Structures are given as C-alpha cells and as structure tokens.
Amino acid sequence: MSVLLDTHAFVWAVLAPSLLGPRARTLIGEPRTERFVSAASLYEMSLKVSLGKWPDVASILDELDEIVLQGGYTLLPILPGHALRAGRLPTQHRDPFDRLLAATALQDDYSLCSADPAMDTFGVRRVW
C-alpha cells in the first residue's frame, strides 16, 4: 500500500508513534508500505518552527535526511497538477497545506494517513 503522511502523522511517526492511530501505526511500520511525505509538509513544519508554534519539530528538520533514509520515506515535490487540483477542491476546508496534501493523495492515488476527519471532505482514502 502507498500512503501519504499528513504533516502531523509524519511528526508523530518520528517523535511520538504512540499518538498514531492503530491502523496508521501498523501501516507506517509495515516494511511493504510505501511511505510518502510531501514538500508541503516540510514547508508547514518549517513555517511553524520559525513562528515558534512547533519548536519540537526543529529536531526533525535538522535531521531530515537521516530520518527519511532510516524511516524509508520518499519525499514528494509539489507538482503543477497537485497545485491545480488543490485549488479546485471543495472550499469547506481552507487550510492550504491540507488542500495540497489531499490533492496529492488524490492525484497520485495514495491513501492519506491523517487523524483529521475534515480531510474526508475532499474524498481521500483516509487511514488512521
């Protein structure tokens, strides 16, 4: 299975796996699972660290290459198709990071690993 991790799912997988839902924890830990992290999540983490809203995440940013390598994650760029689809998603949920993640999951046919039920608005296959 291929899963795109929502930003909080990636952070929790690295810093506090016990916060993950049972299915999410199983999928992320399964060696056959393809685990993807979007550049949108890197931007969100960097922004929140710089604003002082998520200081614990600084350690992930400092060690990103090693975390990606050891965790078997694949980093995804934001492609034009992702951006276009994000802009065309329903407007009930306006968070731009969530919109990009949902659009990426839909465009690339990934399940989205997220605790956020608001993501269901976009029609993604959400696992938690």
Over residues 8-61, the pLDDT tens digits come to 999 999 999 999 999 999 999 999 999 999 999 999 999 999 999 999 999 999
pLDDT of residue 55: 97
pLDDT tens per residue, range 48-96: 999 999 999 999 999 999 999 999 999 999 999 999 999 999 988 899 9
pLDDT of residue 62: 97
| Right CATH for 2-127 from 2.40.30.170, 1.10.8.60, 3.40.50.1010, 3.90.228.20 | 3.40.50.1010
Which residues have a Cβ under 8 Å from the Cβ of 34 and sit 6 or more positions away? 1, 2, 3, 74
Predicted local distance difference test score (pLDDT) of residue 92: 86
Helix or strand (DSSP H, E) at 34: strand 34-38
Instruction: Give the integer Cα–Cα distance in Å for 9 and 92.
Output: 22
* Closest listed residue to residue 116, CA positions, set 127, 105, 104, 100: 127
Closest CA to 68 of 44, 43, 48, 42: 42
| 98-123 residue pLDDT tens | 999 999 999 999 999 999 999 999 99
